[in-house]
Chain A
């Protein structure tokens, strides 16, 4: 990574390195938490590792062939249960971000997000088929139960990204910071309102779609912001 070549590690960074594995294994290491508030590089390393660990947890999700997903998406879109994703070039930006350490964590998050978003239609599709075969649950109940798990994972992932962003936002130019703040605030409002709607009406697919979209957009905005921080 480019930033690594210019890095001037301190003694604290050495101690961070020494304690990092234990910290990631769940041991209480207050120094690690304190150091990442002071050192951008180590904060990014920690964020990256946490994202990699999160991705590793997702690995058991086997990926069926693209044709299967294409059929699932086509059917969901045809039934108005899902809106098509049209973000072909977002991933190119994420890949380019590998040149900097900060966005690498963001990329890891986006990869996980991709897995989740691909998994989400699967989660919706499976119970719906069951429902149509046995007619034991209403489509509303099925959609509500299927949508809960991916959302909470998305929320967790976006929170991780946001924590990394907040720790480093001081390095952004003030005008950029203000634009990002406004955009993130707008997305937070939409997330809050969609969650409120889903609490009142758990089967609301439109609110669910907008919630997933808002989380995805927030992850993308944070990823680009981290990329600028890494410059």
Chain B
């Protein structure tokens, strides 16, 4: 009898827990704003997608996965077109954790917006956006495609991938990998401690590119027509190059040992600095 009772209870409880596991609430809102609003989003987990559009409006769609998670929207000024918009995910019950804390957001924002996004354990994705954006994650991945403006991306453990950026890009991670594709940015600074860096594409004339890893590998894959001055140095890593550089005279008394390469490729219009401690640096044609 006892076993039968337990089985009966399970029969009741299983569908209930399944229902709760699939719980989700969706909402959306359109907010009138000035043409270049400041938008901040503070989330804990989940996916954040931000896209640019030409309207002086912010449209937000979000989904939460627990009845004990809420999204708060704050507008400044409270009436009329907003100058500042803040979205904050609140977990109302400390017992809610893991994926239940998640909130997925999709934001459409005016081109020219200023964004500050924090999503520690979730991902952040920018698509076709012209903005100034600072994004911070801890374990989550950050990606951007066709982003113009200033993008600052930082993640402790998450990967960062930036495709066809233009404007200024700064990307930092500790253990995450960094990947840059078809960059049209004139200023790129990127570093990772144990992650790798892959740069695929040309360098803009007059551009300034500084890439650094500690122990991760760094790969630069550029077209044979790329025009840049190179300063590459690694203390303990290998330095492999298969592009044709005109070597430069070494700077006087460099205060480090290790491998280095100073040279000019084609007319040397861009400036590229690559540094690693023990990670290998490979430079090869596309």
**A139 contacts B235, C-beta separation under 8 Å:** no
Known A-B contacts A88-B152, A93-B136, A206-B256; the reply to A83 vs B212 at CB < 8 A is yes
Instruction: Give the residues in chain A near B191, CB-CB below 8 Å.
Output: 213
**B157 contacts A179, C-beta separation under 8 Å:** yes
Instruction: Give the residues in chain A near B116, CB-CB below 8 Å.
Output: 92
Interface size in chain A (residues, C-beta < 8 A)? 42
Q: A55–B189 Cα gap in the complex (Å)?
A: 30
**B134 contacts A92, C-beta separation under 8 Å:** yes
Q: Does B14 reach chain A (CB closer than 8 Å)?
A: no
* Distance of B151 from chain A, by nearest CB (Å): 11
Instruction: Give the residues in chain B near A175, CB-CB below 8 Å.
Output: 98, 121, 139
Known A-B contacts A80-B251, A81-B255, A143-B255; the reply to A206 vs B235 at CB < 8 A is yes
Instruction: Give the residues in chain A near B189, CB-CB below 8 Å.
Output: 84, 86
In the complex, which residue of chain A has the Cβ closest to the Cβ of B134? Answer: A89
**B121 contacts A207, C-beta separation under 8 Å:** no
**B256 contacts A214, C-beta separation under 8 Å:** no
* Distance of B280 from chain A, by nearest CB (Å): 15
Q: Does B43 reach chain A (CB closer than 8 Å)?
A: no
Q: Does B198 reach chain A (CB closer than 8 Å)?
A: no
* Distance of B250 from chain A, by nearest CB (Å): 10
**B175 contacts A183, C-beta separation under 8 Å:** yes
**A186 contacts B210, C-beta separation under 8 Å:** no
Q: A189–B278 Cα gap in the complex (Å)?
A: 12
A-B contact count (CB 8 A): 109
Instruction: Give the residues in chain B near A176, CB-CB below 8 Å.
Output: 120-121, 138-139
* Distance of A186 from chain B, by nearest CB (Å): 4
**A197 contacts B235, C-beta separation under 8 Å:** yes
**A89 contacts B251, C-beta separation under 8 Å:** no
Contact with B along A189-231 (1 / 0, CB 8 A): 1100110010001011111001001100100010010001000
Q: Does B32 reach chain A (CB closer than 8 Å)?
A: no
Q: A213–B174 Cα gap in the complex (Å)?
A: 11
Contact with B along A4-48 (1 / 0, CB 8 A): 000000000000000000000000000000000000000000000
Q: A206–B259 Cα gap in the complex (Å)?
A: 11
In the complex, which residue of chain A has the Cβ closest to the Cβ of B139? Answer: A179
Instruction: Give the residues in chain B near A203, CB-CB below 8 Å.
Output: 255
Q: A203–B258 Cα gap in the complex (Å)?
A: 13
Instruction: Give the residues in chain B near A205, CB-CB below 8 Å.
Output: 254-256
**A186 contacts B193, C-beta separation under 8 Å:** yes
Docked complex: B141-194 residues within 8 A CB-CB of A: 152, 154, 156-157, 170, 172, 174-175, 189, 191, 193-194
Instruction: Give the residues in chain B near A123, CB-CB below 8 Å.
Output: none
**B138 contacts A179, C-beta separation under 8 Å:** yes
**B156 contacts A204, C-beta separation under 8 Å:** no
Q: Does B199 reach chain A (CB closer than 8 Å)?
A: no
Q: A88–B154 Cα gap in the complex (Å)?
A: 12
Docked complex: B242-282 residues within 8 A CB-CB of A: 251, 253-258, 273, 275, 277-278
**A84 contacts B210, C-beta separation under 8 Å:** yes
Q: A111–B139 Cα gap in the complex (Å)?
A: 26
Contact with B along A167-181 (1 / 0, CB 8 A): 000000101100110
* Distance of A132 from chain B, by nearest CB (Å): 11
**B277 contacts A190, C-beta separation under 8 Å:** yes
Q: Does A182 reach chain B (CB closer than 8 Å)?
A: yes
In the complex, which residue of chain B has the Cβ closest to the Cβ of A221? Answer: B156
Q: A185–B229 Cα gap in the complex (Å)?
A: 35
Instruction: Give the residues in chain A near B275, CB-CB below 8 Å.
Output: 83, 206
Known A-B contacts A83-B275, A86-B170, A180-B156; the reply to A204 vs B255 at CB < 8 A is yes
Query: Would you list the 10 A-B pairs with minimal beta carbon distance, nearest first?
Result: A206-B256, A205-B255, A183-B174, A179-B139, A86-B189, A179-B157, A183-B156, A186-B194, A89-B134, A190-B214
Other than the given A180-B138, A217-B193, 12 more pairs (CB < 8 A) read A84-B189, A89-B152, A140-B255, A143-B255, A176-B138, A203-B255, A205-B255, A206-B233, A207-B235, A207-B256, A210-B277, A213-B212
* Pairs A–B under 8 Å by Cβ, sample size 7: A83-B210, A139-B253, A176-B120, A190-B215, A201-B257, A217-B174, A221-B174
Q: Footprint of B on A, CB under 8 Å?
A: 79-81, 83-84, 86-90, 92-93, 139-140, 143, 173, 175-176, 179-180, 182-183, 186-187, 189-190, 193-194, 197, 201, 203-207, 210, 213-214, 217, 221, 224, 228
